[in-house]
Amino acid sequence: MFNIVDPAAPVQVREPETTGQATLMDKQSERDHRELRIDHVGVRGLRFPIQVLDRANSLQNTVATIGMYVDLPQEFKGTHMSRFLEVLNAHGNVVHVKNITDILHAMQEKLKSDTARLEIAFPYFMVKKAPVSGLESVMDYAARFDATARGKTIDFVLTVEVAVTTLCPCSKAISRHSAHNQRGVVTVKTRFQRAIWIEDVIGMVESSASSELFSLLKRQDEKAVTERAYENPVFVEDLVRNVAMKLNAHPDVTWYQVEAENYESIHHHNAYASIERKTNEP
């Protein structure tokens, strides 16, 4: 059924409530009747400058991809997305790793939420010297902070991805010439009592592989790297165990997960292994 309006009748216009400015409707704060709590709602894919602790230079400037989330009680229709950006920008033009806890608590307060989560993924850079020529070049590694506040409790996980070379022990043992090798990626996630250096995690991984990688190598360097890999064959299982042994020995690590994936050079599949452990929890 359609309602027919008399075009001659005067139009009734409702004047908005004002307090000097027109009042805008707050749809997000309206009640939702589906009674379903949302675990995480917020913004992701935000690019932002950050500073991270650098053992060599004190601080390193880089650019992060950030995700910010809170829980949403079942009675609310939506959250206020602009408030996430307000919190982030209120802490200055640069997000420092030391103020992550402050950002989480500010998100809880600003968005009236019990739980807040912050994801910060960024490239981390190190200057490395080639093994023979000594030429310097910059290597990048993928790093990530995952921080969650539940009430006043903070959970923090550091993730570092390190690319390495692995040479197959079986191939070396059964072949008259050479052995197949490949590039692999090791992902280390850690919780700790006191902050640990990203460089330390990188060092644990690179020393556990057949060889570390370099950006710049001359011929004499290539020879040294190739021969080192041949002299240090490791299965993917060896790789995760080697890293795990070093993490077990670290006094500040309380939990870790080590994953290794080798991009096989003579198979049309990848080799994978993973270890997860709790260690020196107080």
- Domains annotated for the chain, with CATH where assigned, are 38-278 (3.10.270.10)
Q: What is the mean pLDDT of residues 71-81?
A: 75
Mean pLDDT in residue range 119-133: 96
- Taking Cα atoms as reference points, which of 43, 68, 38, 57 lies closest to residue 145? 68
Percent of the chain with pLDDT over 90: 71
* Cα–Cα distance for residue pair 157/59, rounded to 1 Å: 20
pLDDT score, position 12: 37
Res 160: pLDDT? 98
Of 24-38, 50-64, 180-194, the range with the highest mean pLDDT is 180-194
Q: Which residues pair with 182 in a beta bridge?
A: 166
pLDDT over 50 at 11, yes or no: no
What does the pLDDT average to over 250-259?
96
pLDDT in tens, 77-96: 667 788 999 999 998 777 77
**Does 9 score more than 60 pLDDT?**
no
**What's the mean pLDDT in 172-177?**
92
Please give the average per-residue pLDDT across 177-195, as a whole number. 94
Burial class of residue 54 in the structure, from the number of CB atoms within 10 Å of its CB (0-12 exposed, 13-18 middle, 19+ buried): middle
pLDDT band per the 50, 70, 90 thresholds, residue 26 = low
The vertex-250 CA angle with 126 and 232, nearest 5°, equals 65
What is the helix (H) or strand (E) element at residue 210, kind and residue range? none
When pLDDT is averaged across residues 137-163 and rounded to a whole number, the result is: 96
Q: What is the pLDDT of residue 145?
A: 96
Closest CA to 187 of 169, 164, 210, 168: 164
For residue range 238-254, list pLDDT tens digits in order: 999 999 999 999 999 99
User: How many CB atoms sit inside 10 A of residue 64's CB?
Assistant: 21
Task: Categorize the per-residue pLDDT at 59 as very low, low, confident or very high, splitting at 50, 70 and 90.
Answer: confident
Q: Which residue carries 């008399």 as its tokens?
A: 6
Closest CA to 169 of 87, 95, 257, 262: 262
